[in-house]
């Protein structure tokens, strides 16, 4: 029997027009901190860390391939959005005091999960970020019934 190699989530690489501005955004609003900077052949990559999650920031001057809106692009092969959990979406937005551009919501999804609420905001380059409260997985029994 072959043993399955365990894969763990590592990072997301983001192209950004202004690495410093993007680093400040993710540090201020989502608790990321600089973990490493690598420079070679004129390319600088800034690694940000929050817990076991990393963001790699790559500088670019290219124009976006598509426009993002609402909860993210519908383009195949493109990430729709990044997502973070908070205890209270309204408190998160109150703390932001209008400094975060809201692209959609807040919306409540009580019909699916009591207390599930989400708002979508954008980072300095238009990457859509979902901020949610109250999401929980289905139980094993529920999942077995719908398989």
| Cβ neighbours of 122 (radius 10 Å) | 19
HEC-encoded secondary structure of 41-59 = CCEEEEEEEECCEEEEEEE
Predicted TM-score of the model (pTM): 0.86
Q: Indicate the burial class of 135 (C-beta count within 10 angstroms; 0-12, 13-18, 19 or more).
A: middle
Q: What is the mean pLDDT of each run of 10 residues along the chain (147 residues)?
A: 81 94 97 96 94 94 84 83 95 95 95 94 94 92 88
Statement: 1-63 belongs to CATH 3.10.180.10 = yes
CATH topology of domain 65-147: 3.30.720
State the span(s) of the chain assigned CATH 3.10.180.10.
1-63
- Write out the residue limits of the CATH 3.30.720.110 domain(s) in the chain: 65-147
């Amino acid at each position: 029997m072959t043993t399955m190699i365990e894969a763990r989530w590592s990072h997301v690489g983001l192209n950004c027009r202004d690495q410093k501005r993007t680093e400040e955004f993710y540090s201020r609003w989502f608790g990321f901190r600089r973990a490493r900077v690598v420079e070679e052949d004129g390319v600088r990559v800034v690694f940000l860390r929050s817990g076991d999650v990393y963001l790699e920031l790559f500088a670019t001057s290219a124009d976006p391939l598509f426009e993002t809106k609402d909860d993210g692009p519908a383009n195949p092969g493109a990430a729709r959005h990044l997502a973070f959990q908070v205890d209270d979406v309204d408190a998160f937005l109150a703390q932001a005091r209008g400094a975060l551009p809201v692209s959609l919501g807040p919306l409540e999804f009580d019909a699916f999960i009591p207390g599930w609420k989400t708002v979508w905001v954008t980072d300095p380059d238009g990457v859509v970020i979902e901020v949610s409260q109250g999401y929980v997985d289905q139980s094993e029994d529920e999942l077995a019934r719908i398989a």
